[in-house]
Chain A
C-alpha cells in the first residue's frame, strides 16, 4: 500500500491538472459594447496617487467563465433617494450614450442604487458609467453584493475607493478614476449574491450622484 501511495498522489495531481485546464479553457474574454465618446468640454487635468493612471491605455481582455452574460438588464432598481433627473429604470436599460436622455441624477450627498438580480448570481464583472459628457471624478465609489436587500448581513465588497472612510463602510484601497465612455470595469471575482449595490458621494463638479448605466456580468447560481 505504501508503494502505491506515491502513484495515487501523482494520479491525483494529474487529475487536478487536467480538470483545472478544462476549467481554464472555459474562460473567455467578455465583449463589451461601449457608447460613443463625448468630444467636447475641457479635459480634466487630474493627478493623484489614488488615481488610476491606466486611463488612456487600451483595456486588457477581461476573462470570465464561459456563459457569463449581462444579468442586470431590465432588473428592478431601487435607490436611497428618488432621482431628481431621469428614472431608475434607465440605469440598466442598455442606453449608455452621453446624451441628455440617458442620465439619472440622485440628490446630493451619500446615495446608493441597488439592482435586484432576482436570484443569487455569481457576479464576475461590473461595467459602470456615472457620467461621460465631460471628465469628472466621483467620490467614494463602493460596490457591494449581498443576499440581504437591506445590506445588513452577508455583505461582500468588491470595490471601494473611499480612502478616508467618509461613507463609514470601511476604508477602501481601490483607485479613484476619471469617468469616460469606456466605463469603469470592476472585477467582482465571482462573488455570489442577489442584490448589487453601488454607493457614491458627489463628484468634482457638484454634490449630486449620477448614473448613465450599470452593466453587471455574471452567471446564475444554479448554473455554477
Chain B
C-alpha cells in the first residue's frame, strides 16, 4: 500500500471514528421528545407481547420497532420498564454511522477525494447528527433511500442481479419506514429520466438503461416481499399490507394541511432558511451554509463539467459516463426533493434530512472541484484549510446542538420538544414515591384533556398506577395529580384531600400544575432540614 493510500485510509477511518463519537456518545443526554416516547412505548409493546399492528393514521411504518428488537434482546431486557433511552437511540445512531459510510461509497466511485469530503460533511452535519440520536424513523429512512441509489448505480454498472435485489430490499424497507417514500421514489424516477435525457440531448451521449425485465421483476418482488412481511407483522396482520397503501389518502390530506396538520404549515422557504440561517433569540447563530454553498457549487460543476474518475482518463471509457450520469442524477434528485418537500405546506424540521443527505454528497463533489480548480499547491492548501476551518465551525455547532442546546428552542432542529424541566417533575415523582408507603405503586392521575401529555407515559413507565383521563372523574383524588393550567382551577374544588401544588413544565409555554398529597409532601420535605426563611 502506498503512502497516499495509508493516508487516505487513515482519513476515512478518522471520519468514521468521529462520526461514531458524535452519534453514540451520551445518548441519554437529551430529554425524550413526545414522538420518541410514543415510538418507544410501541416498541415496548412489541417486546413484551410480540404484537404489532400498522396504524395507517399515525406513527409511520414498522421498521423502527422490528429493528430495535435485536438491540433490546442483546441488552437482555424483557419489559418496557427495563428499556433505557440509550438502548433505543443506538438504532438511529447505527443508521447514522452507516449513512456516512454509504456517503463515501456513493461518491468515491466518482472521485476518491470527493468521497472523503462527502463523508466528512455527512459526519458533521448538524441535522444528520441531531436526528441520528433521535428515536424516530427519519435517519433510517434516509439510509434506505441512499441504499437504493447505491445499489441502483452499481446495478447499472455491473448488471449483476445481486445489486437489483439489493435495490428491491432497500425499496421495501423504505416503504415500510415512512409514507413519504412515495415522494422519494417519484423524485428518483424523475431524476433518472432527467439525467438520461441530459446525457442524450445535451451531452450527446447515447445511454440506454437496457433493462433486464427479469432483474426488474426481481427488484419489485424483493421490495414487495420485504414490505409485506413487515406491514403484515410477519404474516399475522394481513390488513397491514392493505393499510400501507390506503394510508396515502390520510397523508395526502396531511400534506395539504388538513386538521391538526395546519399547526405544522410553514412557508416554502422554511427548510432552506433552517439550513442557511437560524437566529431565533439571544444565543448561538446556526447555519449549515458551508454544506449548502459547497453543494450549489458541486451541482453547477456536475452539469458544466462533471468530475471524471481519477483512474480513467480515456474519454470513451463507459465507466466515466456512468459517473457523469450519477452526478447529474444526484443534482436532479436533490432538486426535486427540495422543491417537492418545500411546496408541501406541512413541514417539520426532520423532513429536510431526505435532501440534506444528497446535499452533503453534492457538497463533497463541490469541495473537491473547488480545491482541484487550481493546479498550484499553495492555493490548494489554502482552499483546503478554509474548508476545514468552516468544518470546525460546523462540528462545534453540531456539538452544541446535540448537547447544550439539544432541547432548546433556539436550536433549529428542536421542534415541539420536551423541556428539560420534565426532569424536575420526574425527579419529584421519584422523591414522592420514595416516601410513599407502597413505593412505585404511588397513584398518579393525569388530567390533560387535549391528550397533550406525551412523553409522560415513557417517563412514568415504572409506575403501574398512572391514569390518563379524558375528563375529571367523580373521585379525582390521587397521590399525585398532573394537570393543565386550564383544568387546575376546576379540579381543585373537587379534591377532598389537602395538596401541595407546584408548577412543572412539559414544553416551553406548556405548563403542568402538579398536586401532591400534603402528607407525602411533608414526608418529603422532612428530609430537607433547613429552616424557613
Residues of A near any B CB (own CB < 8 A)? 41-42, 44-51, 84-86, 99-103, 105, 108, 133-137, 139, 157, 160, 163-165, 168-173, 176, 202-208
Contact = CB atoms under 8 A, between A and B. Distances in A.
Given A100-B282, A171-B531, A171-B533, A84 B404 contact: yes
Nearest to B428: A164
Interface residues of B, number: 31
Contacts of B503: 46-48, 50-51, 137, 176, 204
Contact of A48 (B281, B419, B501, B532): B501
Contacts of B404: 84
A172 B502 CA distance: 13
B408 A206 contact: yes
A204 B533 contact: no
Interface stretch (B349-357, B456-464, B482-490): B482-490
Contact of A42 (B408, B489, B509, B525): B509
Contacts of B501: 48-50
B502 A46 contact: no
B3 interface: no
B151 to A, nearest CB: 43
B513 interface: yes
A100 B280 CA distance: 9
| Residue with the highest number of chain A CB atoms closer than 10 Å, among B279, B509, B511, B533 | B533
A105 B282 contact: yes
A137 to B, nearest CB: 7
B530 A206 contact: no
Given A48-B501, A84-B404, A206 B419 contact: yes
A44 B513 CA distance: 13
Nearest to A84: B404
B283 interface: yes
Given A135-B509, A165-B525, 11 more contacts: A47-B513, A99-B282, A133-B282, A163-B502, A168-B528, A171-B531, A202-B421, A204-B421, A205-B508, A206-B408, A206-B508
Interface of B is mostly: loop
Contacts of A42: 509
Nearest to A166: B528
A100 B509 contact: no
Contact of B532 (A44, A47, A108, A170): A170
The 6 closest A-B pairs by CB, nearest first: A103-B282, A170-B533, A205-B508, A204-B505, A47-B485, A45-B485
A90 B420 CA distance: 26
A170 B282 CA distance: 33
A204 B508 contact: yes
B116 interface: no
Interface string B494-533: 0000000111010011010100000000000100101111
Interface of B: 279, 281-283, 404, 407-409, 419-421, 424, 484-486, 488-489, 501-503, 505, 508-509, 511, 513, 525, 528, 530-533
B527 to A, nearest CB: 10
A59 B528 CA distance: 35
A44 B528 contact: no
A47 B421 contact: no
Given A103-B282, A105-B282, A204-B421, A164 B505 contact: no
Contacts of A99: 282
Contacts, number: 106
Given A47-B488, A176-B503, A170 B531 contact: yes
B486 to A, nearest CB: 6
A163 B513 CA distance: 15
Nearest to B521: A164
A105 B283 contact: yes
A220 B220 CA distance: 85
B282 A41 contact: no
Nearest to A42: B509
A7 B469 CA distance: 75
A139 B283 CA distance: 21
Contacts of A163: 502
B31 to A, nearest CB: 10
Greatest chain B CB density within 10 A among A160, A168, A171 is at A171
B281 A100 contact: yes
A204 B511 contact: yes
23 contacts: A44-B509, A46-B511, A47-B488, A47-B489, A84-B404, A99-B282, A100-B282, A103-B281, A134-B508, A136-B508, A137-B503, A160-B533, A164-B525, A170-B531, A171-B532, A171-B533, A202-B424, A204-B505, A204-B508, A205-B508, A206-B419, A207-B421, A208-B408
A173 B533 CA distance: 7
Contacts of A170: 530-533
Contacts of A49: 501
Given A84-B404, A108-B420, A48 B533 contact: no
A105 B503 CA distance: 23
A45 B420 contact: no
A133 B505 CA distance: 18
A136 to B, nearest CB: 8
A157 B533 CA distance: 7
Contacts of B484: 45
A94 to B, nearest CB: 17
With most chain B CB atoms within 10 A of its CB, the pick from A46, A49, A50, A134 is: A49
A101 B283 CA distance: 9
A190 to B, nearest CB: 18
